Every structure is written in C-alpha cells, then in structure tokens.
C-alpha cells in the first residue's frame, strides 16, 4: 500500500463550512425559542439541509498525496491520478491537476483570495524558497493554496527520485474517478430537506 506523504485540507474552506453549520444551529435555536411557532419541522429540515450542503461543499474536500499518486476528494467524486500520468498544475480560476486524461479541479482549493499567494504564483522565486512547514506523513494538515501547490510538487519530486522503485509501487494504478455514495446522498438529501422545509414554512 502506498505511503501517504501529505493529507491536505484548506482551512478557509473549513471556516466557511463552520459558519454554515453555525447558521444552521442559529436557525434551530431561534425556532426553539420562538413560542409562537406551531411546528419545529420546517426549520429543522432547513437546518439539516444546510448542514448536509456544508459537509459536501466545504468539509468533505481533501487532497491526499502518496508515493503512487494524488487522490482528490471533491464534492461528489473521488479522483485518483497516478504520478506517471501527472503533468503539472494550473491555478487559473482555482487549482487544477493536469494529467494525460485532461484536468481535474481541486474542490478544496477553488481559488486563492490571498493577494500574496497570487503574487507568489507569478514569481519564479516562489518555487525556489524553502518549502512551508508541512509535516510529511501527518494525518491531517491545514494548507494554504500555495502550500498545497508546493506539497504536490514536493511529492512528485520524491516519487520521481527513484523512478524504478517509486513508480513500481503504483505501477498497476490507472487514472480513475468514481462517485462517492455518501456525498451524493448528502447532497440530494440536503436539497430535498431545504425544499421541503421551505414548502412547509410557506404553506403553514
């Protein structure tokens, strides 16, 4: 089994997901304290739907880098890209991994709002400076968009050092993308819950 080097998540996305979760909790709490409300079902459905969507769009996305390739945990799909098919990165309108099969968006890094990161991407010196303090083989690391790019480049270089040995561990792997049943269910259930909650609130 390939050795995991980096498991990355975007702290900004996690904060956004947390804010949506807090908003859902506020809706439920406000409804409970409203003595004039006849039923808690509509706000509960809406709050549950918001939580489900927050999970899918902000809390689920991740990037895992190992000796054999990259795994992208996107909203409802999981994409696997072996290093031998990896062609590089694109950061226009969000981070994308380029491969022989095309390009795949990295849902955990949709775009960088940090002006310093945007300037650094345009500068050749960004890739000559010491790599940010990411801890290889850690269970979870909160990484900025620039740190994620550097970590991907670092993992690719490590895999390429001993090509015969490093690529052998992932030699049988192929590019793949598959739907994640849990995320698909959460997305569908969240949309249905919000729609039903709004319908009941309006009709009630």
What is the residue extent of each domain of the chain? 4-203
**pLDDT greater at residue 163 or residue 46:** 46
Q: Which residue in 9, 11, 7 sits closest to 114, CA to CA?
A: 11
Q: How far is CA 146 from CA 116, 121, 126, 177, in A?
A: 9, 8, 9, 25
Between CA 16 and CA 67 the distance in angstroms is: 31
Q: Output the pLDDT for position 142.
A: 87
**pLDDT greater at residue 46 or residue 127:** 46
Between CA 70 and CA 175 the distance in angstroms is: 10
As beta bridge partners, residue 90 has 96
Q: Output the pLDDT for position 127.
A: 47
Between CA 193 and CA 46 the distance in angstroms is: 6
Mean pLDDT (the chain, rounded): 83
**Lowest-confidence pick of 8-17, 37-46, 52-61, 179-188:** 37-46
Top-confidence range, 33-47, 71-85, 117-131, 136-150: 71-85
Between CA 204 and CA 138 the distance in angstroms is: 51
């Amino acid at each position: 089994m390939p050795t995991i080097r980096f498991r990355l998540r975007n702290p900004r996305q996690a904060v956004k997901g947390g804010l949506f979760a807090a908003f859902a909790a506020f809706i439920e709490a406000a409804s409970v304290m409203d003595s004039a409300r006849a039923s808690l079902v509509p706000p509960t459905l809406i709050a549950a739907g918001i939580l489900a969507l927050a999970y899918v769009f902000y809390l689920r996305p991740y990037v895992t880098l190992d000796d054999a390739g990259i795994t992208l945990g996107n909203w409802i799909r999981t994409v696997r890209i072996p290093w031998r098919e990896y062609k590089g990165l694109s950061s226009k309108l969000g981070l994308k991994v380029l491969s022989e099969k095309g390009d795949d968006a990295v849902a955990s890094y949709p775009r960088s709002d940090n002006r310093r990161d945007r300037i650094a991407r345009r500068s050749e010196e960004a890739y000559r400076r010491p790599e940010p303090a990411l801890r290889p083989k850690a269970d979870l690391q909160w990484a900025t968009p620039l740190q994620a790019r550097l970590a991907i480049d670092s993992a690719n270089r490590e895999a390429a050092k001993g090509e015969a040995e490093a690529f052998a561990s992932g030699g049988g792997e192929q590019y793949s993308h598959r739907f994640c049943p849990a995320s698909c269910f959460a997305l569908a259930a969240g949309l249905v819950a919000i729609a039903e909650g709004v319908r009941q609130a309006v009709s009630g």
